[in-house]
């Protein structure tokens, strides 16, 4: 059974200043997520599901469909604020969807096999997709056996400003024990850290494993997510800034014993575009990968 790749492409790019998932950064005008699609398909994934917002659906289709049509099996699903379980209520003033795990839930009707979740605006590297595909392809019908690709936090920061990362802890067998989304991680005077819930500065070592939202799940994750989202909305529905992050659900499942999450190691190096100022460096790195033969002159 070939796994599916679920790409979270509904973000609005507020820190980037635009829809970075549609920004042609590669030497042939390729977007970052096209490299993910290319790497996933040659690693053994069977199809791609894009999670997008309806308000840029036309631009998305104009950009990608001509390139992928006939080459990559794909589906498109939409993330909107009002997509909540029946009976749930939330503050009418809210203007944005509910975050990364809410986006994952949009794939419930089209994903029936083990699947990987990634961000549209992150470059994960060839080996990351290989190790993910190997893990997911060997699961069969087993549920509750998840995974994530871990990256060292020191290799995932932006020189321009703070970033959001899922800070992880794992046991001696390489299984995740906790993951907490930290929304303001940066390097200050050479030291990496973040502000906790009380505003206190907490330092991190360079090799602290973090999640870059490269997760591997089985379809039972959708059912757990739905139940968790109902509880989340009961507590946070009136908070217009509350976000339903993937680490929140994963942590709940680990602590309750409903799932295990293997932290996969990779030789790949992550990079991405959090800020517009990150763009020139990413353009240069992608160009270098083409020159090295990692990618052909044109992906498609």
Mean pLDDT is lowest, of 17-21, 52-56, 193-197, for 17-21
Q: Which residues contact 292 (CB under 8 A, 6 or more apart)?
A: none
How high is the pLDDT of residue 21?
76
- Domains assigned to the chain: 4-291 (3.90.550.10)
- What element of type H or E holds 230? helix 220-236
CA dist 294 → 41, 168, 230, 272, 298 (Å)? 14, 30, 44, 18, 11
Confidence of residue 278 (pLDDT cuts 50, 70, 90): confident
Which of 299, 3, 281 lies closest to 132, judged by CA? 3
149 with 119: CB under 8 angstroms?
Answer: no
* Residue 235 CA to its chain's centroid (Å): 25
Q: Is the pLDDT of residue 17 over 60?
A: no
How high is the pLDDT of residue 12?
54
How high is the pLDDT of residue 272?
86
| CA-CA-CA-CA dihedral for 22, 48, 123, 196, to nearest 10 | 90
How high is the pLDDT of residue 290?
97
């Amino acid at each position: 059974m070939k796994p599916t790749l679920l790409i979270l492409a509904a973000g609005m790019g507020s820190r980037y200043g635009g829809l970075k998932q549609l920004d042609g950064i590669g030497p042939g005008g390729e977007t970052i997520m096209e490299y993910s699609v290319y790497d996933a398909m040659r690693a053994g994934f069977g199809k791609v599901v894009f999670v997008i917002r309806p308000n840029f659906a036309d631009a998305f289709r104009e950009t990608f469909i001509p390139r992928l049509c006939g080459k990559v099996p794909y589906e498109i699903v939409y993330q909107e604020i009002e997509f909540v379980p029946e009976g749930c209520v939330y503050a009418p003033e809210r203007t944005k969807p509910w975050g990364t795990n809410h986006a994952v839930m949009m794939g419930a009707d089209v994903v029936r096999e083990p699947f990987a979740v990634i961000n549209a605006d992150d470059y994960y590297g060839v080996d990351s997709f290989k190790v993910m595909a190997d893990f997911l392809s060997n699961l069969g019908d087993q549920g509750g056996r998840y995974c994530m690709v871990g990256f060292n936090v020191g290799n995932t920061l932006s020189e321009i400003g703070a970033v959001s990362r899922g800070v992880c802890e794992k046991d001696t067998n390489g299984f995740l024990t906790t993951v907490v989304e930290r929304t303001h991680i940066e390097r200050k005077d050479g030291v990496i850290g973040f502000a906790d819930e009380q505003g206190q500065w907490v330092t991190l070592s360079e090799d602290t494993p973090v999640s870059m939202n490269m997760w591997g799940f089985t379809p039972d994750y959708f059912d757990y997510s739905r139940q968790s989202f109902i509880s989340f909305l009961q507590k946070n529905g009136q908070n217009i800034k509350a976000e339903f992050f993937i680490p929140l659900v994963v942590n709940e499942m680990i602590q309750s014993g409903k799932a295990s999450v293997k932290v996969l190691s990779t030789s790949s190096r992550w990079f991405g575009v959090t800020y517009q100022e990150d763009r020139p460096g990413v353009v240069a790195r992608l160009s270098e990968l083409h020159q090295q033969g990692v990618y052909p002159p044109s992906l498609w």
